[in-house]
Chain A
Amino acid sequence: MDITRFISTHKKSLLVAFLVLLLIFLTTFPLYGGVYHVRVLIAVLTFVILAASWAMFSGSTGYMSLAPAAFFGLGIYTMCVLEKELPFLIIIVIGGLVAFAFALLVGLVTLRLKGMYFAIFTFGLVVFMSELINYLEVALTGTHGWHITPLGNTTIFYTMLILAVVTVLAIYFIRRSRLGLAMNSIGGNEDAAEHMGINTTRVKVLTFAISSMFMGAAGVITAPILIYVNSSIAFSTYYSFMPILMAVFGGMAYLYGPIIGAVVFAYLERIVRNEFPDYFMIGFGIILVVVILFLPNGLVGLVPELRGKLGGVIAKLRKGGQAEPHANT
């Protein structure tokens, strides 16, 4: 009976307990989960990073980036080029920094402008990167594509897990910081934000670059799974579409939204993609449209709404007879 009260008073400790259990489950997973499930979980973690970092920038500022894949692919290519030169962990950092620098450049060109220029610029960015790198690759090395020495599943799993945890924690703290508040106020009303003394351009460019940094680092870790990489494999618009779908579905204004969306769709993708090639993309596209139209705050946004409605119903039931005489007085 007092479950609801127990939950509300011990909210924080329960959350911590849940997170610890989740972390224990994830860290021990390779011990008992099969190879297939470890692979699936790697995909889930990758999409968690992509979706959460996409939502961190686009969800809060309202500037829609259509090119997570461009930064993800940049990470994959960093791994290709540096694989034989440097240790894996250092390449991850470098991959993140390369994506950060490139996003900084893109941001400086487009984000000082208001409106749709940023979206326009990012729309073709994946194709731009793919064709430019294709050209440079042939011009510099004379060959197409790269072979990468595969790494063990467990290694990839743990590095991806660490990156995912770091990403989510970083986003958590950024959202609570001045930077996070500044991003939200830009999303609410950019002119007002500017009048409040926020350097909107700096905030936008910086947060866009930070979000791209995580995508680049995730790309580095993904590369060894692919074994063979060329410019059209690394820069696939599929990796732009899926994170956006996941973040929107889960609720891009929240921290947990994109994570939940990523978990749901990364599993769904595994099952559906093999069974119905091509058809699944139609379904996913329709889901994206329907969610934006009817569930603008996503799945997580549904919770406060339902709680409000349910709370009203429960309160009515509890008060029951008492409420009626009050109405008369």
Chain B
Amino acid sequence: MIDRVLQLIITGILAGGIYGLLAMGLSLQYGVCRVLNITHGEFVMLAGVLTYTISTSLGINPLVAAAITGPLMFVLGFLLHITLFRGLKTRTPSPAVFEGSALLVAFGVMYVILYLGKIGWGGLPMPIYYLNKTLHFAGMTFFLNQIIAFAIAVAIGVGIYVFLSRSRLGRAIRATAEDPATAGLMGVNVNLILAFSFGLGAFLAGIAGPLSAMISPPKTSMGFSNTVIALIVVVLGGLGSVPGSFIAGIIIGIVSFLVIGLWEPVLTVPVYYAILMILLLVRPAGLLGKK
């Protein structure tokens, strides 16, 4: 029993890496651009099914495919911000109205991408099975692809964190998140930074897609649950806090595998909601959120 629980916890931590990556993207987009991007999961879906197409038709392995889908999603996110959200920002009277309208825009875009995916790829799961070897360690079994996906997720997560805290561009992003008007006065090209941050968030979805596609077969209906997970992880970590998102991702990963393994797979979303409800009642700012 203890072996089984330990196995589930470690598998959960490994899965949590991808959740963390997902939530980091969402957190970045909300924290900087003030867009609660509920399209996020659909970007993951798009990257996942593209990975399938790339790896089966071109014979490229999914990890290399991530080098294609990541930048592709970056461009898509960048363009999405320039075409939709930039104009919306100038047209809405107040930030609160912008947030509401941007949410509804994302809601529309979500269905567009979802159904484009359905038309292009159908509704069936598309197995890739890459690095599907099992490893045995202290009486527990792991899949190699889980470990590699976790390692890559952590590496990219740390990379983004260092980029945001150390680089010049990262400082401009943080300045824009804090106070766009003042950042603009200091010579930051705010519009460009906003589009870049939105693209960066989409880039993370573009990496998370192939990583999760490697472990479980991607399908066009996977977007919604990915968005739900990302949203809950983001609240748990504190809206807008990047390191918080990553830690919260791992917590949610552990919880989800414990529920699946020990209780009932159908109850994962209800359990997430129970966590969310308690969190909103007790500490709405999240684990690492300010205030």
Q: Which residues of A contact B (CB under 8 A)?
A: 62-64, 66, 109-110, 113, 115-117, 119-121, 123-125, 127-128, 131-132, 134-135, 189-190, 237, 241, 244-245, 248, 278-279, 281-282, 284-289, 292-293, 296
Contacts and interface: CB of A to CB of B under 8 A. Distances in A.
B225 interface: yes
B100 A64 contact: yes
B270 A128 contact: yes
B276 A116 contact: no
Interface string B242-285: 00000000000000000000001011111011001100110010
B245 to A, nearest CB: 13
Nearest to B225: A127
B99 A116 contact: yes
Contacts of B88: 292-293
B50 interface: no
A121 B276 contact: yes
A77 to B, nearest CB: 15
Contacts of B280: 109-110, 113, 117, 121
Contacts of B107: 66, 241, 244, 288
B135 interface: no
A128 B112 contact: no
A123 B92 contact: no
Nearest to A113: B284
B119 A278 contact: yes
A285 B228 contact: no
Given A109-B281, A285-B110, A292-B88, A62 B100 contact: yes
Interface in B222-239: 224-225, 227-228, 231-232, 234-235, 239
A123 B88 CA distance: 22
A305 B224 CA distance: 38
B156 to A, nearest CB: 24
A244 B108 CA distance: 10
Given A117-B284, A135-B267, A292 B105 contact: yes
B143 interface: no
Contacts of A63: 100
A124 B96 contact: no
B288 to A, nearest CB: 17
B108 A120 contact: no
A124 B276 CA distance: 11
Given A116-B99, A119-B103, A124-B228, A281 B111 contact: yes
B99 A279 contact: no
B270 A282 contact: no
Contact of A116 (B30, B224, B277): B30
Interface residues of B, number: 50
Given A116-B239, A128-B269, A64 B224 contact: no
A132 B119 contact: no
Given A132-B267, A244-B107, A278-B118, 12 more contacts: A66-B38, A116-B30, A117-B280, A124-B228, A135-B267, A241-B111, A248-B104, A289-B84, A289-B112, A293-B87, A293-B91, A296-B101
A62 B118 CA distance: 32
5 contacts: A62-B100, A66-B38, A289-B109, A289-B112, A296-B92
B231 A132 contact: no
Nearest to B278: A109
Contacts of A189: 94, 96
B111 A282 contact: yes
B116 interface: yes
A313 B111 CA distance: 41
A288 to B, nearest CB: 3
A124 B225 CA distance: 8
Contact of B115 (A66, A120, A278): A278
A116 B36 contact: yes
A123 B231 contact: yes
Among B87, B108, B115, B269, chain A packs the most CB atoms within 10 A around the CB of: B108
Interface centre among A284, A288, A292 (most CB of B within 10 A): A292
Contact of A282 (B36, B101, B116): B116
A293 B106 CA distance: 12
Interface string B107-134: 1111110111011000000000000000
A292 B109 CA distance: 12
B108 A286 contact: yes
Given A135-B267, A282-B115, A244 B104 contact: yes
B140 interface: no
Given A244-B104, A279-B119, A289-B84, A119 B111 contact: no
A286 B112 contact: yes
B201 to A, nearest CB: 15
Given A123-B228, A135-B270, A285 B91 contact: no
Contacts of A132: 267, 269-270
Nearest to A238: B111
Contacts of A109: 277, 280-281
Contacts of A135: 264, 266-267, 270
A109 B267 CA distance: 20
B111 A292 contact: no
A249 to B, nearest CB: 11
B5 interface: no
B269 A124 contact: yes
Contacts of A241: 107, 111
Contacts of B6: none
